[in-house]
């Protein structure tokens, strides 16, 4: 595995999805959706900064460290429970006025799925600290995918997010 190349690719994924979240936040009609999308854009910017720091380390020291990488994503159990509750009650309903928002969220979901697949491959190919670094990104991106899908579901569903507000992304 070429770690420098993998870090560069990871930065590309993170920058792309950050731009998507930022654009979707600007275009979102619902204030809750705007807050969620803005929070996700901030988190993606933190990922960019983290990966940039790892790239500098690799360039100057020939290795990477794996400092803690925090996330607004709740633990997988709470996330799965909330997503399941939403899917049980979801009804497909889309308005013409929200079509652009739906399309943006669909692109975000696809991008998060691509990022998740990339990190899954990076974990499989990496060793040592690089594997730990990419494993943490995989965990976070799996959560981001679920959150983006839940937001898409809420826009196209009943207008609520995860059935009830089980956690607050802005508190992280």
At residue 170's C-alpha, the angle toward residues 12 and 134, to 5°, is: 35
Q: What is the pLDDT of residue 79?
A: 60
Residue 100 belongs to a domain: yes
Can you give the residue range of the structural domain that contains 53? 3-67+89-164
pLDDT in tens, the chain (172 residues): 899 999 999 999 999 999 999 998 998 877 877 888 898 999 999 999 999 999 999 999 999 999 999 887 777 666 666 555 544 433 333 444 467 778 888 899 999 999 999 999 999 999 999 999 999 999 999 988 988 888 887 777 644 444 444 344 555 4
Residue 147 belongs to a domain: yes
Residue 139 belongs to a domain: yes
The residue assigned the tokens 């709740």 is 74
Residue 44 belongs to a domain: yes
Q: What is the CATH number of the domain that holds 59?
A: 1.20.1260.10
Residue 73 belongs to a domain: no
* H or E segment to which residue 140 belongs: helix 128-156
Q: What is the DSSP letter of 73?
A: P
* H or E segment to which residue 116 belongs: helix 99-125
Residue 146 belongs to a domain: yes
Q: What is the pLDDT of residue 170?
A: 53
Q: What is the pLDDT of residue 17?
A: 93
Residue 169 belongs to a domain: no
CB-based contacts of 95, cutoff 8 Å, min separation 6: none
**Spatial distance between the Cα atoms of 137 and 77, rounded to a whole number of angstroms:** 18
Asked if residue 101 lies in contact with residue 152, where contact means CB atoms within 8 angstroms, the answer is no
Domain count, the chain: 1
Q: List pLDDT tens digits, range 23-71.
A: 989 988 778 778 888 989 999 999 999 999 999 999 999 999 999 998 8
Residue 112 belongs to a domain: yes
């Amino acid at each position: 595995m070429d770690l420098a190349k993998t870090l560069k690719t990871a930065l590309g994924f993170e920058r792309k999805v950050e731009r998507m979240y930022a654009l979707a936040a600007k275009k979102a009609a619902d204030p809750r959706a705007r807050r969620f999308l803005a929070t996700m854009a901030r988190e993606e910017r933190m990922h960019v900064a983290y990966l940039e720091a790892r790239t500098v380390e690799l360039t100057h020291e020939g290795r990477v460290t794996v400092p803690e990488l925090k996330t607004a994503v709740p633990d997988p159990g709470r996330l799965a429970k909330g997503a399941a509750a939403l899917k049980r009650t979801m009804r497909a309903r889309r308005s013409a006025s929200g079509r652009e928002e739906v399309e943006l969220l669909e692109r975000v979901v696809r991008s998060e799925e691509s990022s998740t697949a990339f990190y899954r491959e990076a974990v499989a190919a990496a060793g040592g600290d690089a594997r730990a670094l990419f494993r943490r990104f995989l965990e976070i991106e799996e959560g981001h995918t679920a959150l983006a899908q839940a937001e898409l579901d809420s826009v196209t569903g009943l207008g609520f997010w995860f059935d009830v507000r089980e956690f607050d992304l802005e508190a992280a």
